[in-house]
Amino acid sequence: MNTPILLLLFNRPDSVKKLIKALEKKKPRNLFISIDGPRKNNQNDFKKNYNN
């Protein structure tokens, strides 16, 4: 696949896992990923994204 792909990710680890598996089959030449970290003072964000 020659089309570059940019993933903008936040707070959906299960969806990201599915997306990455689908992209592995397409084998994009350029894959750019930007992931925002947990929000300040939000323990749910931290647990959801760092305990998987």
How far is Cα 16 from Cα 19, in angstroms, rounded to an integer?
5
**Helix count (H) and strand count (E) of the chain?**
2, 2
Q: Tell me, what amino acid is at 32?
A: F
Residue 20 token pair? 């990455």
Cut 0.75: pTM above it: no
Local confidence pLDDT in tens for the 52 residues of the chain = 899 999 998 888 888 889 999 999 999 999 999 987 777 887 777 777 666 5
